[in-house]
Structure 1
Amino acid sequence: MLPHVIVTVTDDQTGALDVTVDQQPVNPPAGSEGWRRDDLATILDTLTSERDQPLRVEVRESDGSRFTDILTPPRRRSGPSDTSQAPGAGGFRGIVTGAGFIPGEQVTVAVAVLTTSAGPTGTARAWLSLAHTTQPAGEVVLIGRISGTVTTATRGEPGDRHDGAAQ
């Protein structure tokens, strides 16, 4: 059986949470006022890393809705720790260009760490963990802050030039 983590939102106004693993309370750090919604990613990262096995996570919202997922611990690396220098090993080196931006506008450059699908209502939800920040998905996204232009490029070999197509 997988360890069962239950996160209950006890106060939607403050974002207060109660957290248990197999019905045993998970206490917040000493000196804190308690768990908050902002702590959720840290809580789940810590629990998956400590147990080094998948967890069944159930989030119970104050409105009665529930969300359940299985979280897996980060993969342990056996190779070099700096993947940006290793060809095809998660690093992305090269030039990414895109068109359709307004001259002079700020363009956000984002390295994708995860992709997900929208649910039946068109809402997308992503559960992020520390593992996602160290294991990029291999895609770079350029986002125009004014124009809304989005350009993507996928990982290639180091030094390759990547020309994304505006979407």
Structure 2
Amino acid sequence: MTAGGVSLRPVTGEDLDLFETAFTGEEGTGAFQWFGFTSALRMRRRHAEDGLLGPDGGVLSVVAGRDTVGRVEWFRSTWGRMDTSFCWTVAIGLVPGARGRGFGTQAQRQLARYLFDHTRAQRVQAWTDVRNLAEQRALEKAGFTREGVLRAAQWRGGRWHDQVLFSILRDEEGS
């Protein structure tokens, strides 16, 4: 998938090396995505098993030109029974040098399109910290609608943080 100079593709071993290096600490993840140190072994094991592409979610690399600049992820969420009311929740992580260049907007737009094209989901959603104005703008530019604030929904950095919930529906994608 390619649009606006950005493409999504399956994760390679080299991408995993980049993710481990770039997203190891707060300086790489950014303050809104730093949840502490975690092992990279789980992601490497899953990559060996299914290429990080499964029925309940996945990870794709974000590529600008020839450079991997980050990753997008999705996982099943529900607003009722999983068999009738599931949706996808999406997330993105860009390496520091790739932020603020429109790559996130393009990647999130492409991911929503991909999920609508290849799954039966009616809804794709994302959330971000209420102070993360850059990500809120990127989601809106990607076609997502701001729905509201989830109070004290995310534990990070020793305290609870409010999140802003966004979504895009199947019939809104591409409009």
**Normalised TM-score (structure 1):** 0.26
**Normalised TM-score (structure 2):** 0.26
* Greater Rg by CA: 1
